[in-house]
Amino acid sequence: MFRVNLINLLFFMMSLSALIAQSEQPPKETIIKPIQKSYLTTSIASQTPPELDGIFNEPVWDLVDWATDYVENQPDNGTAPTEQTKFKIIYDEKNLYIAVRCYDAVPEDIVKRLSRRDGFEGDWVEFNIDSYNDNRTGFSFTISAAGVKGDEFISQNGNNWDGSWNPIWYVKTQIDEKGWTAEMRIPLSQLRFSADEEQVWGLQSTRRYFRAEERSLWQPVLPNAPGWVSEFGELRGIKGIKPQKQLEVQPYTVTQLKTYPEEEGNPFRDGSDARLTGGVDAKIGITNDLTLDLTINPDFGQVDADPGAIALDGFEIFFEERRPFFVENKNIFDYSFGNNQDNLFFSRRIGRSPQGSAFGATTAYVDQPENTTILGAAKFSGKTKDGWSVGVLESLTSKEFAEVINEDGSEVETLVEPLTNYFVGRAQKDFNDRNSYIGGIFTATNRKMEPNLGFLHDNAYSGGIDFKHNWNDRTFYIEGNTVLSQVNGTAEAITETQRSIVHLFQREGASHVAVDTTKTSLTGTGGRLEFGKGGGGNWRYNIGGVWRSPELELNDIGFLRRADDIQQYAGVTREFNKPTSWYRRANIRAYQSSNHDFEGNYNQFYYQLVGFVNFKNNWFAEAGSENNAADFNNSVLRGGPRFRNNGFNLGFLYVGTDSRKKLSTTLGYVFGEAREQNFGFTRYEVRLNYQPLNSLNVSMTAKYESRPDKTQYVAQSDFLQGKRYITAAIDQETISTVFRVNYTINPNLSIQYYGEPFIARGKYSDFNYVNNPIATDLSDRVTTYTTNQIQLQGDTYSIDENTDGISDYSFGKPDFAFVQYRSNLVVRWEYIPGSEVFFVWSQGINGNGIAENNFRSIVDNQIFGQKPENIFLIKATYRFVL
């Protein structure tokens, strides 16, 4: 506990110093919003377009004036930048052309770091175009001094930047005695705009001056502005252009060889498999505003593996979507509530691992598919000039069969996933001069059911309505949403849902829920309402509430961790954006929440205080403290009674060096402990980033975590006229390292390596049973078995609770050691814009170790001592722009 108090003291001193430094500043002037800038372009339709060479010597560039007078945005907002920037914009009927000069007094010191697309390394300049002119969305084009392109679709007024958007555009850079230049050509087919005769677009340009880690803007933006896109300047003078309907087709082919350790006698594991497959992606502009994306037999072979993780609480682990088809434009389909994970649409449900199992009492060997085949998917999305955002997604996944060989030699096929159709429809409408919107969503999952998969829902539906209203120049807001769900299926399926970890209707002592084995449907509701101050001045705050009714169920196509919850929350942030003699910027944040269930039980009261400071030398420090003053858990006993956890205190401190340097480091330490040492948490984290060459980057993140717990759930068993809920002390440790190497030969050819070993170990002792689940003291809450009551025989613990010499119940030895290793080596070559070849080598090891061994022995035996599974593939795509 001394370590927590020390961290709290350091945090308090840092926060106090920031406040004192702020108080020493001269009185601030009244905050005045910058005047909106406007740039006037002109058409060159009747003239020869410029050649992209980074040199602006063509006559057409003389038709327009330079735009300049960039203003520093970070770190010292509103002041003159170290180096000035200027640009010109012209257009014809097919393209937008941009010329930009970035002055630099020492051209030889311009940082020209190479990276893959969207790397944003070194010196760069960026242009954001709000061609919808809706003050919420935009298209971002970034070019670095090394010639590396970056492009993102901006949504939610700058709160979401989608890097999966990869338009086709062209650029050339040069370095000369004045600094560096870039000349860009952006096809109008890559933008979305109305059919109006005269266009008015939002425009912003950002320059990163790397050596000072400085950002300057063409259109000045105040600190803590209520958004990004809404603060843009204007691009005027575009007349007579016609919306360009996009038509792109991208076929692909994949050759794959998979090798793995041969299993003697198993015909499904003979040491290698090979396949040749293909598919096609297409992008069709239905109108200039709305696009239809199609994919047939999509392949995601070059996608990174999920990070290693293990959870002992019984809940599903959330992993981010990484597949390009689903990542692109995902903001349109997003309908989150409660937190960043709860969502009506979780695209990883499409193509998930089969949910059925082919293993039986007489099974000898099984060949079960790892994922469900996506036969095809279509995505219709976009935004109209009238302010309608529309998204429709339809996907069909195939039946999946596992091949089974029984002990008697007979061979059968067992269905493990039915034919399933997934549908998502999403719409939002802007109004009130783009300061407000209202929207809705509908999802459907429909399965063609088979008798052996009766535990799955026949169909599942969800829907909702959401809104947001901003006022006082977007300084204040109120937003909210509602959720309604219904799942239908056999009595078996609905009973299993009621008993799942998400719901636990069978839990003891709960008077408001109970398992009904005759029900064939569940209907639930949820939602969120929040009010806050989102911009203007140095203070931001929010207060809100979330509810999830007991029967709410979203996990057929969405993600829901827990139902039966009512949460209240509030947060406040104080920003320090004016640099002082010792920091560039800083902030202090406070957060509080409380939770009840629908029976009215008060389950949790949580609060957190966090401070962050970016020092003058560009180092940073972040420290915080949090506390669970009250903590009751409805799920820890897996259907047992509500269980008390002792109050928990935690503190953390992270310190990092200047990320611009060739070698940068971040060190982190987290320590928490509950009263009576009921449970604890310790983390040590080291992050290293090394850039020895402009073309080479090496990074590593290593973590060690320890999670001791005196009441970790183990099992439950019938005893006398009731249940025994068994817990134990666990010594749980995990260690992981993520290692990445990026070598960029040129902006279109790169080599990437990713590797992650992950080890988790848990050793159990001091087995006990729950005596009084809500007792204040741990000794009253559980009773530890004596040596006369518990005996270990092989891998089974036998309990003779009444010590009469006869075993009353038993459970398996829960000790574990889990080992995972994943790596990817990818060579990517974009041989023409939009068309790529991938050469991929993936390795993987999964296994169980011996919990009694130390980490070194586990690594030697389970990683270095095992033969890995290898996947070699070549994927080639060609992008036809028609």
DSSP string, 186-206: EEGGGS-----SEEEEEEEEE
Whose CA is closest to 591, among 567, 560, 563? 567
Q: Which CB contacts under 8 angstroms, 24+ apart, belong to 582-586?
A: 582/21, 582/615, 582/616, 583/18, 583/21, 583/613, 583/614, 583/615, 583/616, 584/74, 584/75, 584/614, 584/615, 584/616, 584/618, 585/74, 585/75, 585/613, 585/614, 586/18, 586/611, 586/612, 586/613, 586/614
Question: What pLDDT is attached to residue 9?
Answer: 39
Tell me the pLDDT tens digit for each residue of 532-549: 999 888 999 999 999 999
Q: Specify whether the CB–CB gap between 686 and 702 falls below 8 A.
A: yes
Per-residue pLDDT averaged across 799-812, rounded? 94
How far CA 635 is from CA of 546, 562, 638, in Å, comes to: 19, 9, 5
Domain 34-239 has CATH 2.60.40.1190: yes
Question: What pLDDT is attached to residue 302?
Answer: 56
Q: Specify whether the CB–CB gap between 545 and 568 falls below 8 A.
A: yes
Question: What pLDDT is attached to residue 846?
Answer: 84
Tell me the pLDDT tens digit for each residue of 582-635: 999 999 999 999 999 999 999 999 999 999 999 999 999 999 999 998 789 999
Per-residue pLDDT averaged across 56-63, rounded? 96
Mean pLDDT of the chain: 91
Element (H, E) at 102: strand 95-103
Question: What pLDDT is attached to residue 30?
Answer: 52
CA 80 to chain centre: 36
Locate 10 and state its tokens.
């350091």
Tell me the pLDDT tens digit for each residue of 684-703: 999 999 999 999 999 999 99
- In the predicted structure, residue 17 carries a pLDDT above the cut 60: no
β-bridge partners, 526: 483, 548
Question: What pLDDT is attached to residue 155?
Answer: 87
State how far the Cα of 80 lies from the Cα of 216, in Å rounded to an integer.
9
Locate 132 and state its tokens.
């919808």
- In the predicted structure, residue 21 carries a pLDDT above the cut 70: no
Q: Specify whether the CB–CB gap between 160 and 181 falls below 8 A.
A: no
- In the predicted structure, residue 10 carries a pLDDT above the cut 60: no
Question: What pLDDT is attached to residue 304?
Answer: 61
- In the predicted structure, residue 880 carries a pLDDT above the cut 60: yes
- In the predicted structure, residue 323 carries a pLDDT above the cut 60: yes
Locate 82 and state its tokens.
């170290």
Element (H, E) at 12: helix 2-23
Tell me the pLDDT tens digit for each residue of 361-418: 889 999 999 889 999 999 998 888 788 889 999 999 999 999 999 988 899 999 999 9
Tell which phi-psi region holds residue 172, choosing left (phi > 0), alpha (psi between -120 and 50) or beta. beta
Q: Specify whether the CB–CB gap between 695 and 743 falls below 8 A.
A: yes
Q: Specify whether the CB–CB gap between 596 and 580 falls below 8 A.
A: no
Per-residue pLDDT averaged across 458-486, rounded? 96
Residue boundaries of the structural domains of the chain:
34-239, 314-538
- In the predicted structure, residue 200 carries a pLDDT above the cut 90: yes
Element (H, E) at 464: strand 459-471
Q: What percent of the chain has pLDDT over 90?
A: 75
Single pTM value for the model: 0.89
- In the predicted structure, residue 800 carries a pLDDT above the cut 90: yes
DSSP tag of 118: T
Question: What pLDDT is attached to residue 241?
Answer: 93
- In the predicted structure, residue 314 carries a pLDDT above the cut 90: no
Locate 259 and state its tokens.
């090798």
Residue identified by tokens 């909106």 is: 36
Question: What pLDDT is attached to residue 4?
Answer: 41
Helix (H, G, I), strand (E, B) or coil at 184: strand
Q: What percent of the chain has pLDDT over 70?
A: 96
Locate 24 and state its tokens.
């020493």
- pLDDT classification of 301: cutoffs 50, 70, 90: low
- pLDDT classification of 576: cutoffs 50, 70, 90: very high
Question: What pLDDT is attached to residue 183?
Answer: 98
Helix (H, G, I), strand (E, B) or coil at 436: strand
Task: Please report, as a single letter, which amino acid is at residue 457.
Answer: H
Question: What pLDDT is attached to residue 543?
Answer: 97
Whose CA is closest to 426, among 157, 132, 135, 155? 155
